[in-house]
């Protein structure tokens, strides 16, 4: 009895001390709908990862040790999904743990018992076949076709499927890793990286700046390094190194221009790894090592705005991070804006405006697609209970961009640039949500310079406000006239297109009249052979039009199928599958998808499963 009273007393003490201490580990922590962790009770601050990459079993096995900041908690909660947790230690001694019921989106809460003064925990674990972050590739799926390949994709909430972790963007940790791979392969991470293979397949990594868990990344393959400057370079398979090196040779200039715009590059090294074509994104801004699709290697540097984009994330995203996935537009909208500014410095206003106009058309189409769910066109989202991927669309990117461009035009570039520089500096290595941003904007730009602006309408209302910046491109106006002329004359005039850039071709293809006749598509394809374009972007938009307009010439159906089987970039393949669906050809789409699906990373497969009602 006495003992119980004593324990009750302790409990009361514990509760009262709990309510007295405010946000002690992460000041201003915002409730996170996509993580089970309770960082204000106990939070991870540093990770020591020690893993073995087993290509035979296709699993990663090892231990994740954490330094923790402990707010006198009796438990620390990590996120875990599809992991086998073998055992857990607290300060070197075995401790008890439990897994909560499985949640389709979030996985399981891994609840680890600790003492109020526990400083370290270690989780022994292995991944499973269901892992969503990892894609294990057979040699056949790589460029050189001689060795297997592995890469991870952490954003948005997939890191927990290969490392047990507090998987919220508001968490920041430094990390060290020891990674064992087969000795004929090289491992690289979002960290300080090796430039050559080691003889024994042991690799050691260090990320000295604190990063959010979604930015922890690993790639393993038969890759080589080639420097572009003393702080930029390329990792790729042998047959891709030279091509990638040429394509991305402006990388050092991009970093220098970015620094001139918004302040010093905070991560020392900026490298890019070119992955096999199943990589589900154009690019992923893993710190120090951007992951990129090979589909941007066009041979003429025409798709390198992707590199400017991922580089820009070194400020907007990696340095100043969205607090929750509802604030995703703060990552992507700012990054598109910054990307356009880098492109303008390097290649001029015409190029930047063409890119912006393409984004403006994407936005128009996205808004049309959301006509029944207008809430999805707001910048600030509410993704509770949904997959954060639902917010990964043109709204965050292109409406976010348009908002910032409109602000820039309203305030004037000089004031806006001062504001942005200050924004990155003040929030470096921290997270920010939309509300905090609005306050910062009011205080440091709008009120400061007495500027009236409808910020709330832009951020919290559906659609696009009337004061939007109007983006014009003379080049694109010429392209539009050219289309009309070709159709009217029933003939093409190649002199009009001979200097066209990729962006002009993309605009040309995307803006055919709705009632364009098959004979005109035949005429255009005979003249320009778009079906066999080596440029993945031009090919992709042409395939979309071929499907829209029932064009079957030039063996285009086979080309579309080949493309969908080889490429796993989600934006490309979903554009094509959507076109099939829109035109009542879901059966054709499914027949191809049956062959292609096993080549896709889980994020692409999940999207296409939903789109086509697969399984
Ligand atoms: N961070 C994104 C990719 C991402 C977003 C992955 C959300 C997972 C969840 C990356 O920076 C990106 O935006 N990639 C674009 C490139 C582009 C807009 C130039 C892509 O993959 O197409
Ligand atoms: Zn991005």
Q: Can you give the CATH number for the domain in which 568 is found?
A: 1.25.40.320
d(CA 76, CA 83): 17
Between CA 153 and CA 603 the distance in angstroms is 9
Same domain, 547 and 500: yes
172 lines ligand 1 (CB under 6 A): no
Q: Residues with Cβ < 8 Å from 61, sequence gap 6 or more? A: 51, 52, 54, 125, 126, 127
| d(C-alpha 448, C-alpha 105), whole Å | 43
If one residue of 161, 279, 282 were mutated to test the ligand 1 pocket, choosing by the most ligand atoms within 8 A of its CB, it would be: 282
The protein residue whose alpha carbon is closest to atom 20 in ligand 1 is 282
313 lines ligand 1 (CB under 6 A): yes
Residue 497 has a CB neighbour count (10 Å cut-off) of: 16
Both tokens assigned to 291 = 């992951």
Contact residues for 314 (Cβ-Cβ < 8 A; gap 6+) = 258, 265, 266, 267, 270, 285, 287
Residue 495: how many other CB atoms lie within 10 Å: 7
Residue 332 annotated in ligand binding = yes
Rounded to a whole number, what is the distance in angstroms from the first to the last CA of the chain?
58
Identify whether residues 431 and 386 lie together within a single domain: yes
260/366 same-domain check? no
Is 449 marked within a binding site? no
Ligand 1 mean position, distance from CA 288 (Å): 16
**Same-domain status, 210 and 233:** no
Instruction: Clarify whether residues 178 and 43 are in a common domain.
Output: yes
Tokens 């990373």 correspond to: 601
553: DSSP letter: G
Distance (angstroms) between ligand 1 centre and the Cα of 336 equals 10
Nearest residue (CA) to ligand 1, atom 17: 306
Q: Looking at the structure, tell me whether residues 140 and 214 fall in a common domain.
A: yes
Distance CA 614, CA 490 (A): 42
Q: Dihedral sign, CA of 118, 120, 125, 130?
A: positive
pTM of the model: 0.96
In the reported structure, the alpha carbon of residue 321 is separated from the centroid of ligand 2 by a whole-number distance in angstroms of 12
Burial of residue 595 (CB within 10 Å: 0-12, 13-18, 19+) is: exposed
The pLDDT value given to residue 615: 83
313 is in an annotated binding site: yes
Domains in the chain, number: 4
**Ligand 1 pocket check for 392: Cβ under 6 Å:** yes
Nearest CA-CA partner of 315 in 260, 358, 235: 260
Task: Say how many CA atoms lie within 13 Å of 598 toward its Cβ.
Answer: 5
Dist CA 78 CA 71 (whole Å): 15
Element spanning 609, H or E: helix 602-612
Q: Is 236 in contact with 244 (CB distance < 8 Å)? A: yes
Q: How far is the CA of 298 from the centre of ligand 2 (A)?
A: 20
Catalytic-labelled residue, pool 32, 41, 285, 310: 310
Ligand 1 centroid–CA 182 distance in Å is 30
Indicate if ligand 1 lies below 6 Å from the C-beta of 306: yes
Q: How far is CA 27 from the centre of its chain?
A: 27
Pairing of strands 223-229, 232-237: antiparallel
Residues 293 and 199 in one domain: no
Ligand 1 centroid to residue 331 C-alpha, Å: 10
Structural domain includes residue 16 = no
Q: Is the distance from the beta carbon of residue 155 to the nearest atom of ligand 1 less than 6 Å?
A: yes
- Answer whether residue 580 is part of any domain: yes
Ligand nearest to the CA of 392: 1
Residue 431 CA to ligand 1 centre (angstroms) = 19
* Domain with 449 in it: 316-460
Decide if 299 contacts 170 (C-beta within 8 A). no
| Ligand that comes closest to the CA of residue 152 | 1
Residue 344 and residue 374 in one domain:
yes
**Residue that is last in its domain, among 184, 202, 221:** 221
Pocket probe mutation, ligand 1, options 153, 281, 381, max atoms within 8 Å of Cβ: 281
CB 502 within 8 A of CB 298: yes
Last residue of a domain, one of 187, 205, 221: 221
* The pLDDT value given to residue 27: 86
Strand order of the β-sheet with 97-99 is: 75-80, 108-113, 97-99
18 assigned to some structural domain: no
Q: Are residues 414 and 508 in the same domain?
A: no
CATH number at residue 424: 1.10.390.10
User: Is residue 214 within 8 Å of 230, Cβ to Cβ?
Assistant: no
Rounded to an integer, what is the distance from CA 189 to the centroid of its chain?
16
Give the residue carrying structure tokens 């070119």: 274
Q: Whose Cα sits closest to atom 15 in ligand 1?
A: 282
259 catalytic, yes or no?
no
Contact 324, 396 (CB under 8 A): no
Q: Which residues fall within 8 angstroms of residue 555, CB to CB, at 6 or more apart?
A: 531
| CATH at residue 151 | 2.60.40.1730
- Report angle CA 346, 349, 351 to the nearest 5 degrees: 75
- Do 80 and 112 fall within a single domain? yes
Cβ–ligand 1 distance for 327 under 6 Å, the answer: no
With the most atoms of ligand 1 within 8 angstroms of its CB, the residue from 132, 277, 283 to mutate is: 283
Is the CB–ligand 1 distance for residue 571 below 6 Å?
A: yes
d(CA 36, CA 14): 22
The predicted structure's pLDDT at residue 190: 99
CA distance 103 to 49: 26
- Quote helix, strand, coil % in the chain, to nearest 5: 45, 20, 35
Give the contacts of 562 (CB within 8 A, at least 6 positions apart): none
- Quick check: is 466 in a domain? no
Tokens of 122: 């270690």
DSSP H helical ranges for 105-227: none
Ligand 1 atom with the smallest distance to the CA of 603 is 8
Task: Specify if 244 maps to a domain.
Answer: yes
* Test site for ligand 1: of 190, 279, 284, most ligand atoms within 8 A of the Cβ: 284
Query: Does ligand 1 have an atom closer than 6 angstroms to the CB of 381?
Result: no
* 397 labelled catalytic: yes
pLDDT for 24: 67
For ligand 1, the distance from its centroid to the CA atom of residue 325, given in whole angstroms, is 14
Q: Domain boundary at 221, 244, 270, which?
A: 221
Cis peptide before 209, with omega less than 30 degrees from 0? no
Q: Both 179 and 35 in a single domain?
A: yes
- The atom of ligand 1 lying closest to the CA of 336 is 18
In a domain, 600, yes or no: yes
Q: Is 290 helix (H, G, I), strand (E, B) or coil?
A: strand
Same domain, 213 and 238: no
Q: Which residues does 425 contact at the CB level (< 8 Å), separation at least 6?
A: 263
Q: Is the CB of 284 under 6 A from ligand 1?
A: yes
295: domain CATH number?
3.30.2010.30
Give per-10-residue mean pLDDT for the chain (615 aa). Answer: 44 43 75 96 98 98 98 98 98 98 98 97 98 98 98 98 98 99 99 98 98 99 98 98 98 98 98 98 99 98 98 98 98 99 98 98 98 98 96 97 98 98 98 98 98 98 98 98 98 98 98 97 98 98 98 98 98 98 98 98 98 94
Instruction: Report if residue 599 sits inside a domain.
Output: yes
Give residue 88's pLDDT.
99
The catalytically annotated residue of 29, 214, 265, 397 is 397
CB 309 near ligand 1, within 6 Å: yes
In a domain, 187, yes or no: yes
Ligand 1 and 282: CB distance under 6 A: yes
From the alpha carbon of 571, which atom of ligand 1 is closest? Answer: 22
For ligand 1, atom 1, name the residue with the nearest CA: 284
Tokens of 9: 């007393």
């Amino acid at each position: 009895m006495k003992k119980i009273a004593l324990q009750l007393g302790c409990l009361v003490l514990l509760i009262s001390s709990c309510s007295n201490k405010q946000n002690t580990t992460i000041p201003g922590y915002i409730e996170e709908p996509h993580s089970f962790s309770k960082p204000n009770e106990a939070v991870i601050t540093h990770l020591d990862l020690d893993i073995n990459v087993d290509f035979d079993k296709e699993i990663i096995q090892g231990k994740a040790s954490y330094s923790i900041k402990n707010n006198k908690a009796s438990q620390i909660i990590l996120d875990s999904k599809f992991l086998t947790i073998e055992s857990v230690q607290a300060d070197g001694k075995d401790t008890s743990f439990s897994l909560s019921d499985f949640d389709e989106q979030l996985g399981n809460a891994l609840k680890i018992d600790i003492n109020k003064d526990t400083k370290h925990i270690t989780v022994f674990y292995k991944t499973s076949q269901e892992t969503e972050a990892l894609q294990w590739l057979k040699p056949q799926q790589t460029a050189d076709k001689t060795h297997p390949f592995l890469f991870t994709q952490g954003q948005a909430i997939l890191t927990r499927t290969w490392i047990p972790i507090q998987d919220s963007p508001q968490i920041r940790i430094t990390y060290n890793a020891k990674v064992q791979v087969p000795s004929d392969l090289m491992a690289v991470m979002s960290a300080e990286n090796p430039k050559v293979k080691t003889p024994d397949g042991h690799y050691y990594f260090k990320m000295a700046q604190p990063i959010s868990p979604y930015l922890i990344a690993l790639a393993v393959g038969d890759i080589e390094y080639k420097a572009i400057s003393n702080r930029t370079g390329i990792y790729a398979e042998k047959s891709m190194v030279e091509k990638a090196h040429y394509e991305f040779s402006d990388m050092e200039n991009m970093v220098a221009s970015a620094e001139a715009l918004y302040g010093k590059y905070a991560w020392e090294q900026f490298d890019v790894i070119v992955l096999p074509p199943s990589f589900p994104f154009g690019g992923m801004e893993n710190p120090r090592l951007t992951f990129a699709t090979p589909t941007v290697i066009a041979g003429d540097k025409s798709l390198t705005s992707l590199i400017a984009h991922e580089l820009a994330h070194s400020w907007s995203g990696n340095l100043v991070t969205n607090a929750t996935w509802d604030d995703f537009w703060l990552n992507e909208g700012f990054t598109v804006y910054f990307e356009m500014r880098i492109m303008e410095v390097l290649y001029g206003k015409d190029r930047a405006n063409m890119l912006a106009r393409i984004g403006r058309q994407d936005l128009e189409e996205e808004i049309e697609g959301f006509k029944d769910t207008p809430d999805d066109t707001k910048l600030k989202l509410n993704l509770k209970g949904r997959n954060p991927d639902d917010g990964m669309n043109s709204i965050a990117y292109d409406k976010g961009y348009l908002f910032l461009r409109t602000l820039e035009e309203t305030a004037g570039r000089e004031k806006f640039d001062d504001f942005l520089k200050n924004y990155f500096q003040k929030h470096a290595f921290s997270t920010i949500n939309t509300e905090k941003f609005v306050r910062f904007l009011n205080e440091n730009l709008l009120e400061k310079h007495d500027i009236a602006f409808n910020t709330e309408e832009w951020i919290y209302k559906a659609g696009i406000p009337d004061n939007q910046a109007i983006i014009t491109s003379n080049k694109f106006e010429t392209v539009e006239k050219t289309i009309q002329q070709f159709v009217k004359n029933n003939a093409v005039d190649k002199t009009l297109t001979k200097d066209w850039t990729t962006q002009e071709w993309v605009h040309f293809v995307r803006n055919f009249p709705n009632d364009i006749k098959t004979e005109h598509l035949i005429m255009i394809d005979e003249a320009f052979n778009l079906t066999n374009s080596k440029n993945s972007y031009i090919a992709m938009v042409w395939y979309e039009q071929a499907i829209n307009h029932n064009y079957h010439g030039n063996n285009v159906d086979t080309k579309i199928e080949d493309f969908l089987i080889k490429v796993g970039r989600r934006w490309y393949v979903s554009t094509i599958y959507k076109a099939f669906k829109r035109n009542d050809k879901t059966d054709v789409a499914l027949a191809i998808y049956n062959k292609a699906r096993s080549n896709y990373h889980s994020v692409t497969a999940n999207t296409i499963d939903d789109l086509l009602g697969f399984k």
